[in-house]
Structure 1
Amino acid sequence: MKKYAILLFIILHFNNIQAQEIKTITYFQNDTIQLDLDLYLPQQKTNEKIPLILFAFGGGFSGGERTSEKEFGMFMAKNGYAVASISYSLYMKRKDFGCKGTLTEKIKAIQIGVSDMWQATSFLLENAAKYNLDTSKIFISGISAGAEIGFHAVYWDYKLMNLYKSNLPENFKYKGFIGGSGAIMDINLITREKAIPTLLSHGNNDATVPYSAGSHRSCPTNASGWLILFGSYAVYNHMNDLHKDIELITFCGGGHEFSGYLFHQGQQYVLNFVDTVLKGNKFESHLIIPLEKKSVNTGKYLFCE
C-alpha cells in the first residue's frame, strides 16, 4: 500500500510540474547585446487572460542571472500567474558599485537596468495576445538591485529617463510592486497620483541597502560613490502618510541576506498580495519577524528595539 502511495505522489508531482510552461524569449537585441526573459506560464483550462509579474534578479548590477528564481516562477504559475524573469544589462560588471565607485556610474547602472525593464514591459505588452496576458494586471518585482530597478521603473518619468526607443502606452501603470531589500533615490517621486500597492521586505540592520533613509553600502559622505537611498521603512512611512496601500515585512536584526525572502521562503506572501490587489481589497500592515533583537509593541506599530 505504501508503495502505491509513493507511486501516486510521484505521478501527481510530475503532472504538477508539467502544468507550467517555461518559454525563453529574446525581448531586446542589437549589435552588441541580447537580452532574454524566461516566461513562466500556467496551464489554462479557460481563455481568461493571465496576470503577469515581471521580475529582476539581484547582484549589484554586476552579477546574478534570471534563472535563479525558477522556483518562484513555477510557484506563481502553479497558482495561475505568469512570471517574466528578465535579464538586464550588468553595467557595473568589473566596476566598483561601492564607496570607491563613481556616483554618476552607479546612477547610470540603475538607469540602464530600468530602461531594460521598460523594454521588457513594452515587448510583453506588444505580444500579450500571443501569450494570453492581461495588460491591465502587470506587477513588477525584484531583489536588491532588481528591487531598485522596480522602484525606479514605477516612479521615474518614462519619457525623461528611458534610454531606448521603446514605447509604453501613455497612461500605462504597473498594478503593484513587490521588492526585497530595495530602495529609491528620491522618495518624493512617490506621489499620491503615482503610488501603487506595494509589498516590501527588509532587514532593519541592512548595511548594503538602507532599511530607512541612508547611504548605499553605508558609505561616508566624502566617498566618491556616496549615494543617498530611501529604503523600505522610509517608503512604508511615506506611503502611509499618502494613505496608500503598503505592506512591510521587517526582519528585526537582519541584514541584506534577507533580500530574497519574499521570492524564496515567503512566496505565499507574494501570492496573497497579488490576490488581494486584484480583488481590490485594502491593506496596511507591518509584520516584524524577530531575529537577534526583540520586537516591541508600542500601540499602533511594532518596532525593533
Structure 2
Amino acid sequence: MKNPIFILLFLLSFSISAQQRFIDESFQLKETETKTYATKNGEALKLDIYQPENDTMQQRPLIVFMHGGGFAGGTRTNPGEINFAESAAKKGYVAVQISYRLTRKGQSFGCDYEASGKMETFKMAAEDFMDAVNFMVKNKEEFNINPAKIIVGGSSAGAEAVLNAVYNEKLMLEDFSKYQNFDFAGVFSLAGAIVDARYITEENAIPGVFFHGTEDNLVPYASAPHHWCDRDQPGYIMLDGSKTITEKLKKLNTSYLLYSFEGGKHEHSGMPFEHLPKVFQFFNSVFLNGESKQIEVWK
C-alpha cells in the first residue's frame, strides 16, 4: 500500500500544476502597499499595490485601474475595485488602484460646465493616470513588472481619463515623450468614452475590453453629447463611446471584446463580477499572448 502522505503530496502538486496563471486564483495575497506617486498643488496622489504572495515570476504583467465618480468623488478603496485588484493579484498580476485629482469636487461636471473646462478636466486626469503608470514602471524591479505587459482600465470618469490617455494622447498630453518607456498591452473600460475616435490609428489601436449600456444617460454608448447636453448649453461636447471605439478598432483589425447591455444605463460602470472570468480569459489570450479576437456580446 502506498504511503498516504506521498499520495496527498502528489495530489496537491497535481492540483497546483493544473491551475493556470492569470486565469485561476493560485496565490495568496501579500500585504497591500500604499505609495505616493506624485504630489500636485500640495496634494499627495496615492496608489495601492496588490501582489501575489510567494510568486517567483520576475516579469509580471501590471494592471492599473482608475475609479469613477464624475471627477468629483469616488475612491480607490471602493469595495468593487478592491475585489477586482485582489482577484487579479491572486491570479499572478500586480494590480494597482489609483487616486487622482478630483478637480470637480463640489462642482458640476454637467451641461452647465463649459466644454473647455471638461477638456481640461480630462487632460489633468489623463496626466495623473500616466504619472501613476510611470511611477510603477520606474519601480519595475521592486515589484517585478514587465513594462511591455501593462493593462490599464477605469470606470466612468476613470475610464474616460484612461481611454483618452491611450487613444487620444496627442489631444491630452503636452509631453508624451516621458511616457515612452512602457507599452500598453490592453485597456479595460467600464462605461467610458473618448473625445474623438478619429485619433485612433494603427500606432495606438490597443486591444480593449468594453462594457456599456446602450442607453447610458451620462456617457454615450456610441457617439453623442456628454450628459446628452443640448447644443446651445455650455457643457455641450461630443464624445465617442464604446460602440464607436470598437467600430474603429474593427476597421484597424485590432482585437476587442464588447459587452453591450440592451437598454442599460450608467449602472454598467460598476465592476462586472459576473463576467470577469471571461474578461480574464481575454486578458490572457489577447493582451498577454497576442491572439486575435473580435467579440461582441449582447445582454
TM-score range, shorter chain: 0.7 to 0.9
Counterparts of 1:244-263 in structure 2, within 5 Å, are: 244-262=254-272
Which residue, 95, 104, 127 being the options, matches 1:115?
Answer: 127
1:56 to 2:66 alignment = yes
The one-letter amino acid of 1:236's match is T
Q: Deviations over 1:72-97 (max 9, x none)?
A: 00000111111111000001112210
Aligned residue in 2 for 1:207: 217
The one-letter amino acid of 2:295's match is S
CA contact (8 A) 1:245 1:282 kept: yes
Q: Deviations over 1:195-228 (max 9, x none)?
A: 0111001000111111100011111111100110
1:162 to 2:176 alignment = no
Identity fraction in percent: 35
1:275 to 2:273 alignment = no
CA distance in 1, matches of 2:172, 2:195: 14
The one-letter amino acid of 2:163's match is F
CA distance in 2, matches of 1:227, 1:119: 26
CA distance in 2, matches of 1:201, 1:19: 28
Which residue, 100, 113, 118 being the options, matches 1:101?
Answer: 113
CA distance in 1, matches of 2:242, 2:54: 35
Aligned residue in 1 for 2:104: 92
1:18 CA displacement: 4.7
CA contact (8 A) 2:72 2:105 kept: yes
CA distance in 1, matches of 2:173, 2:206: 20
Which residue, 232, 238, 241 being the options, matches 2:242?
Answer: 232
CA contact (8 A) 1:20 1:78 kept: no
1:132 CA displacement: 0.9
Aligned residue in 2 for 1:137: 149
1:155 CA displacement: 2.1
1:266 CA displacement: 2.7
Q: Deviations over 1:12-70 (max 9, x none)?
A: xxxx8953431111111255110000111112332332100110001110000001111
SS of 2:274's equivalent in the other structure is coil
The one-letter amino acid of 2:180's match is P
The one-letter amino acid of 1:167's match is K
Change (3 A) 1:153 1:82: same
Aligned residue in 1 for 2:13: none
TM-score by length of 2: 0.86
The one-letter amino acid of 2:113's match is G
1:67 to 2:55 alignment = no
The one-letter amino acid of 1:141's match is G
SS of 2:32's equivalent in the other structure is strand
Q: Aligned-pair RMSD on alpha carbons?
A: 2.0
Structure 2, unaligned runs of 5 or more: 1-25
CA distance in 1, matches of 2:213, 2:197: 19
TM-score by length of 1: 0.84
Q: Which moved more, 1:19-28 or 1:62-71?
A: 19-28
SS of 1:42's equivalent in the other structure is coil
CA distance in 1, matches of 2:251, 2:92: 33
Aligned residue in 1 for 2:15: none
CA contact (8 A) 1:178 1:199 kept: yes
CA contact (8 A) 2:114 2:235 kept: yes
1:21 to 2:31 alignment = yes
Q: Which moved more, 1:19-28 or 1:78-87?
A: 19-28
CA contact (8 A) 2:168 2:194 kept: no
Q: Deviations over 1:263-293 (max 9, x none)?
A: x33322331121012122111111001xxxx
